[in-house]
Amino acid sequence: MSSNNGSKKDVLLEVKGLKMYFPITKGIIIQKKIADVKAVDGISFNIKHGETLGLVGESGCGKSTTGRAILQLYRPTAGSVRFEGKELTEMKGETLRRQRREMQMIFQDPYASLNPRLTVGNIVGEPLEVHKLASGKERQERVQELLKLVGLNPYFVNRYPHEFSGGQRQRIGIARSLAVNPKFIVADEPISALDVSIQAQIVNLLEDLQANLGLTYLFIAHDLSMVRHISDRIAVMYLGKLVELTDHITLYEDPLHPYTQALLSAVPIPDPYIEEKRQRIVLEGDVPSPTNPPSGCNFRTRCPRVMDICAEKDPEWKNMGTPENEHWVACHLY
């Protein structure tokens, strides 16, 4: 497949044919593999330096697994993940550990992802110790600097996570991920667990940090309203595969894939006149099991526009835009 988003020289991360299968085994003494959960099933995309790529899809579609497989927290079953041209899937041991400094993750649940027994200073400072970047006074100063950077009072270092609100805890999580000066961050539903009033503050913080530190993001979310503001381009995922990928304006104005159209129809429009006319596309049935996805197009069991060919052939991943303004889609309608 050709590059799916512009000039090679701008590319920070290149993912090609990424597969992440989890084996299902049977037997107590001798374990025998009987099937695979195809959590991610052959996806390809690039992320450019300084860009935010939104990755959207329903729960269980494989988006978080994609993030973890990119960071090599899961070792991919197949495919390639290149970071600044270096193949991550072949890295091991100390080389991989050093590489991980450049790629960090922000987790969905700020309540669960912070150790309740550690002070904020220890939580944020831990990566500095692990990667031997700072200790003693230097570490303490760096922690205070990081807390300031994410909008927290630097004198909170001796407090514990339970003393903070949800939004503040997410700020602590962000400070921890920034401690090692990463270039790339996988933000795995970083605002989903927060109150709506706090979500915008965290999105603004991530945008400011991106502008000031030159960060690149993969921003994972389960609905399109959450990624609209922050993403430069958006990829839509369904049952382990990408179905559409384009810039954020084109995706909202001219969605091509029937699944994207259904997801968008659920997004409220702030204009009351247009909102009144919004037609909701309700998808029938449940998402099929990733252990046994449908033949051909895996969306066909729920697609309102399904045709005979959809059961026979897996639709090709095609650029329906131009080389400058790419619009990738996998659907036999195009």
Residues that bind ligand SF4 (CB under 6 A): 257-258, 297, 299-300, 303, 305-307, 310, 315, 331-333
| Residue placing its CB nearer to ligand SF4 in the complex, 167 or 240 | 240
| Residue placing its CB nearer to ligand SF4 in the complex, 158 or 289 | 289
Residue 252 CB, nearest distance to ligand SF4 (Å)? 19
DSSP-assigned letters across all residues of 5-64? SS-GGGEEEEEEEEEEEEEEEE-SSS-EEEEEEEEEEEEEEEEETT-EEEEE--TTSSHH
Scored b (16 or more CB within 10 A) or e, 88-117 reads bbebeeeeeeebbbebbbbbbbbeebbeee
Could you identify the residue written with the tokens 């969605």? Answer: 255
Residue 315 CB, nearest distance to ligand SF4 (Å)? 4
Strands 11-26 and 78-83: antiparallel
Long-range contacts of 144-153, Cβ-Cβ distance < 8 Å, separation of 24 or more: 146/175, 146/176, 146/178, 146/179, 147/120, 147/172, 147/175, 149/175, 149/178, 149/209, 150/174, 150/175, 150/178, 150/205, 150/209, 151/205, 152/120
| Residue placing its CB nearer to ligand SF4 in the complex, 97 or 305 | 305
Angle at 22 between CA 79 and CA 286, to 5 degrees: 105
| Residue placing its CB nearer to ligand SF4 in the complex, 98 or 334 | 334
Residue 241 CB, nearest distance to ligand SF4 (Å)? 10
| Residue placing its CB nearer to ligand SF4 in the complex, 24 or 307 | 307
| Residue placing its CB nearer to ligand SF4 in the complex, 125 or 315 | 315
| Residue placing its CB nearer to ligand SF4 in the complex, 154 or 294 | 294
| Residue placing its CB nearer to ligand SF4 in the complex, 249 or 307 | 307
Strands 184-188 and 103-106: parallel
Residue 132 CB, nearest distance to ligand SF4 (Å)? 50
Tokens describing residue 327: 């619009």
d(CA 328, CA 5): 9
Residue 256 CB, nearest distance to ligand SF4 (Å)? 9
Residue 251 CB, nearest distance to ligand SF4 (Å)? 16
d(CA 147, CA 200): 19
Residue 235 CB, nearest distance to ligand SF4 (Å)? 16
Residue 242 CB, nearest distance to ligand SF4 (Å)? 12
d(CA 172, CA 216): 19
Residue 317 CB, nearest distance to ligand SF4 (Å)? 12
Tally Cβ neighbours within 10 Å of residue 291.
14
**CB distance 222 to 108 below 8 Å:** no
| Residue placing its CB nearer to ligand SF4 in the complex, 156 or 299 | 299
